[in-house]
């Protein structure tokens, strides 16, 4: 169990870096009118890292029944993280569908909203 918690805690830094990188890249390309098939790859990598983090969190949550003692950890943290992951995946899907210069705006907004939800759901006290 401790290994799962340590992995979940460690991967969070990768998620933070990936989401900050996604925000930076989307902001940097905001004025671009070009969109290629490969443009989505860095954003998809951020989603994969986020997916791994959420999967580790779900496994940790299911394996650790002691989490039910804390309402924030038992309800708010997993709910916000799942919503944040959903927002990020929806932004990527919409950007892929638009496949234009405005896709970067969609990705920027999606990354900012998703990261805000992640930061709001981090259990800072523990």
pLDDT tens-digit readout, 2-29: 888 888 889 999 999 999 999 999 999 9
Backbone phi and psi for residue 36, each to the nearest 5 degrees, phi listed first: -115, 170
The DSSP string of 51-101 is: HHHHHHHHHHHHH-GGGGG-HIIIIIHHHHHHHHHHHHHHHHHHHHHH-ST
From 99, 92, 93, 90, select the one nearest 37 (Cα to Cα): 99
Q: pTM for the full model?
A: 0.89
Mean model confidence pLDDT for the chain: 89
The percent of residues above 70 in pLDDT, for the chain, comes to 94
Per the model's pLDDT, the better-predicted residue between 123 and 87 turns out to be: 87
pLDDT at 35: 82
Tokens representing residue 115 in the block: 């990261």
Whether pLDDT at 119 is above 70: yes
């Amino acid at each position: 169990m401790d290994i799962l918690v340590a992995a979940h805690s460690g991967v969070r830094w990768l998620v933070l870096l990936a989401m900050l990188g996604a925000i930076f890249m989307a902001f940097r390309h905001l004025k671009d009118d070009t969109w290629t098939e490969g443009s989505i790859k860095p954003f998809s990598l951020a989603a994969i890292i986020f997916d791994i983090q959420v999967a580790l969190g779900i496994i940790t949550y299911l394996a650790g029944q002691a989490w039910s003692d804390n309402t924030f950890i038992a309800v708010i943290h997993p709910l916000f993280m799942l919503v944040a992951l959903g927002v990020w995946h929806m932004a990527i899907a919409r950007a892929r569908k638009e496949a234009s210069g405005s896709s970067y705006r969609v990705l920027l907004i999606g990354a900012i909203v998703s990261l805000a939800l992640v930061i709001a759901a981090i259990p800072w006290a523990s």
